[in-house]
Amino acid sequence: MHRACVFDDLIGQQRVADFLGKAAGDGTISHAYLFAGPPGAGKKTAAKSFACALLCDDGGCGACAACYKIKRGLHPDVHMVTPEGAASYMVSQIRELIHDVHLKPVDGSRKIYIVEAADAFNDGSANAFLKTLEEPPDDVTIILLTHSFDAVIPTVASRCQIVRFKRIPPSMAEGIIVERTGVDSAQARAALAAAGGVIARAKELLDSPMRREARDKVLATLKDLATMDGHDVLVAARDLLAAVKAPLEEIKALQAEEIREREEFLGSSVGKAVIDRHKRELTAREREGIAEIFAVTESWLRDCLVMSQGLDDLVSNLDVRDAMEEVAVVITPNAATKALASVKETRRRVSYNVNPQLAMEAMLFDIREVLICPR
């Protein structure tokens, strides 16, 4: 049977690709799926590929306008859903979602909802969602994603077909990026470290000069941190947050393109739903950018630690090896652990909507203290 080429994007998950390709090919599509597997396993890529297979006239060619829009997050019938609450889905957000689910598709024959963080439903939002999840309109497919199957409320999980993803080993992920983008393995490894191990995000980062610049800025800040005074640290925190905002201009350009296309097609201005989706997209990307600051910082600290133990093979950020060497000769495991704990705590605080500037300042002060007195 012909399997849609769009599943070629899904690497190291042959069983999943075969299963989804067959379902799309036969038309034996479930109303709801739960994709479960560790970060970086390719769940979101798989969900988008599946959407292509369902909406493309060619069964997921990967090259037509529909496939292109889906892959870039611009298709009007493929919706990404992320929690709007600090740590969970809010009932009001789910009510809006349910309303939207019952509207007709715009371009295609079907609508697809990709719901991230399926473990972020609390009892209230789960209850609001259950009936729709169990019996959505015929032309709707809901795909929930989770890193942690066990953290998904059982009443949610039991209404979905479960699709399990394997962990992709880092060496394999690195090889995939080298093969797909043509960068060398050192660059691939550094991009993966910044992207929290997620292949698709690492590839995006390599494609975006502004995101690479943000990553370099984090590393430059860490290099100079020990010699900064208090005022410098405040400025550095502000500059880092500004650096992750810069790539949003790339997204805004894509959104403007979508609005132009749609207005041409509709002959009138686009509605609130599109504007709201664009706003959510920007918020999500900004959060991703902040997550990259944390990931780069963690990888830098881990690199200093492994170098201090003589395990140079494990270094992720080879391009700044010399600068890390200076830290590695003095840092103790205890000090590195303290700094890593501060990053983790800062990540948690930001996820609970603490002002990112304040959180970032506190983190840099903590790390500076460790670098000045690395015992």
Binding site for Zn ion (CB under 5 A): 56, 58, 61, 64, 67
Q: Residue 21 Cβ, how far from Zn ion at the closest point, in Å?
A: 14
Nearer to Zn ion, 61 or 200 (CB): 61
Nearer to Zn ion, 69 or 79 (CB): 69
Q: Is 368 exposed, middle or buried (0-12, 13-18, 19+ CB in 10 A)?
A: buried
Nearer to Zn ion, 44 or 71 (CB): 71
What is the SS3 assignment for the chain?
CCCCHHHHHCCCCHHHHHHHHHHHHHCCCCCEEEEECCCCCCHHHHHHHHHHHHHCCCCCCCCCHHHHHHHCCCCCCEEEECCCCCCCCCHHHHHHHHHHHCCCCCCCCCEEEEECCHHHCCHHHHHHHHHHHHCCCCCEEEEEEECCHHHCCHHHHCCCEEEECCCCCHHHHHHHHHHHHCCCHHHHHHHHHHCCCCHHHHHHHHHCHHHHHHHHHHHHHHHHHHHCCHHHHHHHHHHHHHHHHCCHHHHHHHHHHHHHHHHHHHCCCCCHHHHHHHHHHHHHHHHHHHHHHHHHHHHHHHHHHHHHCCCHHHCCCHHHHHHHHHHHCCCCHHHHHHHHHHHHHHHHHHHCCCCHHHHHHHHHHHHHHHHHCCC
Q: Residue 61 Cβ, how far from Zn ion at the closest point, in Å?
A: 4
Nearer to Zn ion, 106 or 354 (CB): 106
Q: Residue 67 Cβ, how far from Zn ion at the closest point, in Å?
A: 3
Q: Residue 24 Cβ, how far from Zn ion at the closest point, in Å?
A: 12
Q: Residue 70 Cβ, how far from Zn ion at the closest point, in Å?
A: 8
Q: Residue 46 Cβ, how far from Zn ion at the closest point, in Å?
A: 16
Nearer to Zn ion, 34 or 66 (CB): 66
- Residue of minimal CB distance from Zn ion? 56
Nearer to Zn ion, 61 or 90 (CB): 61
Nearer to Zn ion, 76 or 374 (CB): 76
Q: Residue 5 Cβ, how far from Zn ion at the closest point, in Å?
A: 9
